């Protein structure tokens, strides 16, 4: 693995696969975290948000069916949304690539290359 690179990865997601491939083309072999199988903890999500410099609302996949059916009209606090993301990790934007103190969402996949600078 390339030191310090982590990808929160869903192998069924095209953008996630493309982001991983871009990193590998640069000789980077990140630690792969399959977040759907092992959802991040509350502390891990807070750290990711800090590294992304985003609010929890910014990393919610609002086009997901589960969001539209269960959460569209909800007005939760940041902490309540964190609970939702832990329970329903499919709602987390993907992929998220972390390197040191910085992170990027791979939408578009080329965003992750900013971490190389």
Domain spans of the chain?
5-116
CB half-sphere exposure, 22, CA atoms < 13 A? 20
74 is catalytic: no
Q: What Cα–Cα distance (Å) separates residue 112 from each residue in 7, 94, 97, 104, 109?
A: 10, 11, 6, 6, 6
**Tens-digit pLDDT string for the chain (117 aa):** 457 899 999 999 999 999 999 999 999 999 999 999 999 999 999 999 999 999 999 999 999 999 999 999 999 999 999 999 999 999 999 999 999 999 999 999 999 999 988
Catalytic member of 13, 32, 36, 47 = 13
**Is 5-116 a domain of CATH 3.30.420.40?**
no
In the structure encoding, which two tokens stand for residue 12, read together? Answer: 């069924």
């Amino acid at each position: 693995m390339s030191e310090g690179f982590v990808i929160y990865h869903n192998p069924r997601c095209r953008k996630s696969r493309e982001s991983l491939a871009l990193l590998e083309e640069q000789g980077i072999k990140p630690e792969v975290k399959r977040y759907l199988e092992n959802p991040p903890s509350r502390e891990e999500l807070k750290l990711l948000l800090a590294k992304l410099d985003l609010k929890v609302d910014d990393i919610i996949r609002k086009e997901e069916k589960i969001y539209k059916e269960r959460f569209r009209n909800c007005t939760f606090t940041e902490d309540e949304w964190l609970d939702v993301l832990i329970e329903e990790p499919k709602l987390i934007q993907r992929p998220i690539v972390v390197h040191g103190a910085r992170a990027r969402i791979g939408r578009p996949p080329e965003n992750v290359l900013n971490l190389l600078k």
